[in-house]
Structure 1
Amino acid sequence: MNSAAKWLACKESLCRDKTMAENQSALDTQQALVTSEDGLDIILGQWQAQGVTEDLVPMAVLGRIARLTKYMENAIALCHGEFGLGQGEFDVLATLRRSGEPYMLSPSQLYQSMMLSSGAMTSRLDRLENKGLIAREHSKEDRRAVHVSLTAEGKALIDAALPKHIQCQSALLAGVPSAEREILQQILKTWLAHFER
């Protein structure tokens, strides 16, 4: 084997070793994250120390979801705040926007879609109307019926805010390895279907 071939073989070996080392490092990091304690581990350990023998997996799952929800709500609120939108206001605009032209729904369609009470929805609509982002008008066919629609300003704002919202959601999932996201999505879909079927 000439010197050039030896050099190339050595280089390939070094690259292979480097790749293996990098892969092992990534696995070690992931394993450390999985095995490291979080706040729920401490709580569960305290209950076990007090003699609780029941299955604590449900407490662990629901407790972690509750804690994750707080982190997500805070991050999303900051994201929406950049566009002057308060809690839930983005959701109203987004629901109208994804309904397609003419971007108009009834209040009942809105609060059913968003799982809100009619009172909570009315409050959000009041705020958005005061900002000039939506308009409410009576139906020409039935004066008792009210339709909610996006204004031009409302459509422009939600179109500007949506990419940032998606980026924020992606950042919140940064701690979940890409290969496991679809698995997580399917687990959550199955669980949610249990309540919504």
Structure 2
Amino acid sequence: MEMNEVKRDQDVSLKLFIVLSRALEAIEKQIVKNVKDYGLNLTEFAVLELLFHKGDQPIQKIGQKILLASSSITYVVDKLEEKNYLVRKACPTDRRVTHASITDEGKKIMEDIFPRHKEAMSKIMAGLNTDEKEMVVEKLKKLGLYAQQLD
């Protein structure tokens, strides 16, 4: 790659990062507004969504699955337990592990919220058509996998 091409690549890489960050920020802002209507914050919603779709989860693993620091998980689980949306259950095979389990009340609220959430996501993402969304998903997945393997 010649010098001009290297500089152009660096400039476009920086611009891509900024555009991705701003797009994510704008999208998250809309999602936060949407889940706030249900008396949840984004993290609480993410935990409930995980339990709703994947079933009981070890509390220690939830943070990895929703990209949250493990120190924050206990607080979020406490809040959801106070709202009666989940309960802690001892793991039957390993006493050191505690699972989070969605309650009937938690399931009920997710059955109400999730269809509306899907609808809201569709509206938020309506700036792209379906083919463009599929292409962006493919490209971002490729970029993410590449960045992961740099470790």
Q: TM-score, normalization: structure 2?
A: 0.85
Q: Which amino acid aligns with 2:101?
A: S
After superposition, what is the alpha-carbon deviation per residue over 1:120-141, rounded to whole angstroms, capped at 9, x for unaligned? 1111111111111000122344
Decide which of 82, 86, 108 is 2:41's aligned counterpart. 86
Q: 1:166 Cα shift? A: 1.1
State whether structure 2 residue 130 is matched by structure 1 residue 178.
yes
Superposition RMSD in Å: 1.8
Q: Which amino acid aligns with 2:76?
A: R
Question: Which 5+ residue runs of structure 2 have no aligned equivalent?
Answer: 1-5
Question: Which 5+ residue runs of structure 1 have no aligned equivalent?
Answer: 1-52
What is the distance in 1 between the residues matched to 2:28 and 2:35? 10
Q: Which amino acid aligns with 2:117?
A: H
What is the correspondence of 1:15-26 to structure 2 with a 5 Å cutoff? none
Q: TM-score, normalization: structure 1?
A: 0.66
What is the distance in 1 between the residues matched to 2:100 and 2:128? 38
Q: Which residue in 2 is equivalent to 1:148?
A: 100
Q: Which residue in 2 is equivalent to 1:14?
A: none
Bigger mean CA offset, 88-97 vs 186-195: 186-195
- Structure number with larger C-alpha Rg: 1
Percentage identity across aligned positions?
27
Q: Which amino acid aligns with 1:156?
A: K
Matched length = 142
What is the correspondence of 1:13-162 to structure 2 with a 5 Å cutoff? 54-55=7-8, 56-99=11-54, 103-162=55-114
Q: Which residue in 2 is equivalent to 1:24?
A: none
User: Whose RCO is larger (CA < 8 A, sep 6+)?
Assistant: 2
